[in-house]
């Protein structure tokens, strides 16, 4: 097979996986007119293949995928021009698949498919190269965005430096759990006394201004524990003044953000499982892949991991989960992961029944405070997402 024919699908994986596995000289996509006109999306697919080290020519041919006769006509044109071809029927509309059947009734064309459930390719007719072939592809997190026409950028956390902080993450999370209920006030206090971005020094009074005219007392016990595990140093509490230095810039960022420690803990739990090919935290996805700009649509994913070709989307919330957060997570999963993807919401609360019901409707797993109290329980819940 030198030419692979793909019936374009809204699920990104179905458009790229066969090219990834069989490495044809060219891949011809029969796609709807709007896709045939979308040069940005086409270039993103080409970028995906380059990123994966695949040298294949991508050709896009327009046809209504709801018109079986139109699709069959396109298929005949392609098979006439590229006789050494094969047809992948893993994706596409019912009309496109029907058109493929009509074509194959009169022409000896190899046909194969891919089963998401079994992660295996199957020979439908004359495609011995695909017969019962397990898929061993391992995707990176960035691959999931590129194949869908998006791009990934670094968010609040530089993942490249996280290895240096792994020994600190579990002690940080234990500290967070001990002070979970007052954690937002602790973070607000730290923010108030460390407003100089260029400095690691923090200094302020025993009470500071809070929200809506309230006053926040210095969290002396929490600060002492932060010093004991190496998050801050030079802690002094004298009379009516508190002062300390952050261990470094990254620690400063995490202690000034309410949700960072929970995200880091979930990230480490995923990494320590050793079942994921790639794990990222604070990954910013640009939907159109245009880069920063006024018209760019972006979302930040708290944690994302890949197991083979299956992406796992995880959103972390230190407070009660709102319906909007569930809806956003479901949209991201469906847009950049398709039917093979899984999603979970992690909450540092118990999780109310209405939220759990909505999550179940959207196919989102709920990991709650009870799971977070035990690393083993948390990892069991995460591992279940790949099954």
With 70 as the cut, is the pLDDT of residue 276 above it?
yes
The partner residues of 347 in beta bridges, in order of sequence, read 317
With 80 as the cut, is the pLDDT of residue 294 above it?
no
Integer CA distances (angstroms), 286 to 36, 87, 151, 298, in order: 21, 32, 5, 5
With 90 as the cut, is the pLDDT of residue 259 above it?
yes
Please report, rounded to a whole number, the percentage of residues in the chain having pLDDT higher than 90: 89
**Which one-letter DSSP state was computed for residue 58?**
E
For residue 278, the tally of other CB atoms under 10 A from its CB is 19
Q: What domains does the chain contain, in order, with CATH numbers?
A: 3-136 (3.40.50.10770), 167-255 (1.10.10), 260-384 (3.40.1350.10)
With 90 as the cut, is the pLDDT of residue 300 above it?
yes
pLDDT digits (tens, 9 = 90+) for 179-196: 999 999 999 999 999 999
With 90 as the cut, is the pLDDT of residue 136 above it?
yes
pLDDT digits (tens, 9 = 90+) for 194-208: 999 889 999 999 999
Q: Whole-model pTM?
A: 0.93
pLDDT at 288: 80
pLDDT digits (tens, 9 = 90+) for 217-234: 999 999 999 999 999 999
Spatial separation of the C-alpha atoms in residues 101 and 53, rounded to whole Å: 33
Using DSSP bridges, classify how beta strands 85-88 and 57-62 pair: parallel, antiparallel or unpaired: unpaired
Spatial separation of the C-alpha atoms in residues 68 and 74, rounded to whole Å: 10
CA 21 to chain centre: 22
pLDDT at 320: 92
pLDDT at 239: 85
Query: Which pLDDT band, with edges at 50, 70 and 90, does 304 fall under?
Result: very high
Tokens of 230: 């190496």
The answer to whether the CB of 28 falls within 8 A of the CB of 6 is yes
With 90 as the cut, is the pLDDT of residue 293 above it?
no
pLDDT at 177: 98
Lowest mean pLDDT segment, chosen from 147-156, 244-253, 311-320 = 147-156
With 80 as the cut, is the pLDDT of residue 296 above it?
no
Lowest mean pLDDT segment, chosen from 14-18, 27-31, 296-300 = 296-300
Q: Which residues contact 276 (CB under 8 A, 6 or more apart)?
A: 270, 305, 306, 307, 312, 386
Across the chain, mean pLDDT equals: 95
Query: Which pLDDT band, with edges at 50, 70 and 90, does 292 fall under?
Result: low
Spatial separation of the C-alpha atoms in residues 151 and 148, rounded to whole Å: 9
Spatial separation of the C-alpha atoms in residues 235 and 242, rounded to whole Å: 7
Spatial separation of the C-alpha atoms in residues 229 and 295, rounded to whole Å: 43
pLDDT digits (tens, 9 = 90+) for 79-116: 999 999 999 999 999 999 999 988 888 889 999 999 99
Closest to 338 measured CA to CA, from 14, 11, 41: 11
What's the alpha-carbon Rg for the chain, to the nearest Å? Answer: 25
CA 256 to chain centre: 24
Spatial separation of the C-alpha atoms in residues 90 and 13, rounded to whole Å: 10
Question: Which parts of the chain are beta strand (E)?
Answer: 3-7, 26-31, 57-62, 85-88, 111-115, 120-125, 133-134, 151-154, 201-205, 207-209, 215-217, 232-238, 241-246, 278-286, 298-307, 310-317, 342-347, 364-367
The answer to whether the CB of 315 falls within 8 A of the CB of 152 is no
With 90 as the cut, is the pLDDT of residue 54 above it?
yes
pLDDT at 184: 96
Mean pLDDT (whole number) for 290-317: 89
Q: Which residues contact 368 (CB under 8 A, 6 or more apart)?
A: 346, 347, 349, 350, 351
- The order of strands in the sheet holding 241-246 is 201-205, 241-246, 232-238
pLDDT at 290: 67
Tokens of 225: 């524990």
Return the half-sphere exposure (C-beta side, CA atoms, 13 A cut-off) of residue 278: 19
With 70 as the cut, is the pLDDT of residue 301 above it?
yes
Query: Which pLDDT band, with edges at 50, 70 and 90, does 343 fall under?
Result: very high
pLDDT at 169: 98
Mean pLDDT (whole number) for 239-257: 96
Q: Is 202 helix (H, G, I), strand (E, B) or coil?
A: strand
Residue linked to tokens 């006789």: 83
């Amino acid at each position: 097979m030198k030419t692979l024919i793909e019936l374009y699908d809204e699920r990104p994986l179905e458009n790229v996986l066969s090219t990834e596995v069989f490495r044809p000289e060219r891949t011809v996509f029969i796609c709807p007119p709007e896709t045939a006109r979308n040069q940005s999306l086409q270039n993103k697919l080409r970028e995906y293949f380059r990123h994966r080290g695949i040298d294949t020519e991508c050709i896009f041919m327009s046809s209504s995928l709801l018109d079986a006769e139109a699709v069959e006509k396109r298929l005949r044109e392609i098979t006439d021009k590229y006789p050494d071809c094969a047809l992948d029927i893993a994706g596409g509309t019912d009309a496109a698949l029907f058109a493929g059947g009509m074509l194959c009734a009169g022409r000896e064309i190899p046909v194969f498919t891919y089963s998401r459930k079994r992660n295996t390719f199957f020979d439908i007719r004359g495609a011995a190269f695909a017969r019962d072939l397990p898929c061993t592809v391992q995707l990176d997190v960035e691959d999931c965005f590129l194949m869908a026409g998006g791009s990934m950028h670094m968010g609040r956390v530089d993942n490249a430096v996280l290895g240096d902080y792994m020994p600190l993450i579990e002690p940080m999370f234990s500290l967070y759990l001990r002070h979970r209920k007052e954690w937002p006030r602790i973070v607000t206090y730290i923010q108030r006394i460390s407003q100089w971005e260029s400095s690691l020094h923090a200094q302020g009074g025993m009470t500071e201004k809070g929200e809506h005219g309230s006053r926040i007392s210095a969290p002396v016990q929490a600060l002492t524990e932060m010093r004991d595990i190496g998050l801050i140093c030079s802690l002094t509490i004298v009379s009516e003044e508190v002062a300390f230095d952050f261990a470094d810039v990254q620690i400063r960022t995490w202690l000034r953000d309410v949700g960072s420690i929970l995200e880091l803990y979930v990230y480490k739990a995923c990494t320590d499982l050793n079942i994921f090919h790639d794990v990222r935290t604070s990954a910013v996805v640009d939907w159109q892949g245009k880069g920063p700009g006024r018209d760019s649509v972006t979302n930040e994913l708290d944690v994302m991991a890949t197991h083979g070709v299956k992406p796992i989307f995880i959103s972390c919330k230190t407070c009660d989960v709102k319906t909007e957060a569930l809806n956003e997570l479901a949209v991201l999963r469906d847009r950049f992961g398709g039917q093979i993807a899984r999603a979970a919401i992690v909450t540092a609360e118990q999780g109310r029944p209405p939220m759990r019901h909505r999550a179940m409707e959207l196919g989102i797993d709920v990991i709650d405070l009870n799971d977070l109290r035990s690393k083993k329980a948390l990892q069991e819940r995460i591992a279940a997402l790949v099954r």
